[in-house]
Amino acid sequence: MIVEFILVGLVLLGGFFCFVAGLGVLRLPDVLIRMHASTKAGTLGSGLILAAVAVLFADLATVTRAVATIVFLLITAPVAAHMIGRAAFRSGVPMWKTKIEDGAQEALKRR
């Protein structure tokens, strides 16, 4: 019974965070801020739902695969976000109200 409540909490919380991430990607004003929503909230939502899978099945093979997927998402999301952010900044996508330091554009230019 307790396990079932934990499962329901994990699934609903994960679904909520996925929804919030999609809403952020749709509504926020520029690329870097949208990436903030997609990277953090999206990874958290998927991680919570995968944790629910691990709790539900609770055998070694399934838990290993679920934990491997979570760790993989946690490793790759920052790397991908870093690469998209750098590409967007270098290609001069217009920003919302972000203050850009003097010389940042030159320092990040492709050498």
Partner 1 sequence: MEILQTAVDIAFVIVMLGVLFAFIRLIKGPSLPDRIVALDMMTVQIVAICALFAISSGETAFLDVAIVLALVGFLATVALARFVERREAGNDDRALTPDLPQDEETGP
Using CB under 8 A, which of 87, 98, 101, 103 touches partner 1? 87
**Residue 95 binds partner 1, judged by CB under 8 A:** no
Tell me phi and psi for residue 103, to 5 degrees: 85, -5
The tokens for 111 are: 């050498």
**Residue 92 binds partner 1, judged by CB under 8 A:** yes
**Residue 104 binds partner 1, judged by CB under 8 A:** no
Which string of x and - marks every residue 32-71 that binds partner 1 (by CB under 8 A)?
--xx--x---xx-xx--xx-xx--xx---xx--xx-xx--
* CA–CA gap between residue 39 and residue 80 (Å, rounded): 9
- Distance in Å, CB of 99 to partner 1, minimum: 20
Residue 49 or residue 103: which is nearer to partner 1 going by CB? Answer: 49
Q: What is the 3-state secondary structure (H, E, C) of the chain?
A: CHHHHHHHHHHHHHHHHHHHHHHHHHHCCCHHHHHHHHHHHHHHHHHHHHHHHHHHHCCHHHHHHHHHHHHHHHHHHHHHHHHHHHHHHHCCCCCCCCCCCCCHHHHCCCC
Interaction site with partner 1 (CB under 8 A): 4, 7-8, 11-12, 14-16, 18-23, 25-26, 31, 34-35, 38, 42-43, 45-46, 49-50, 52-53, 56-57, 61-62, 65-66, 68-69, 72-73, 76-77, 79-80, 83-84, 86-88, 90-93, 110-111
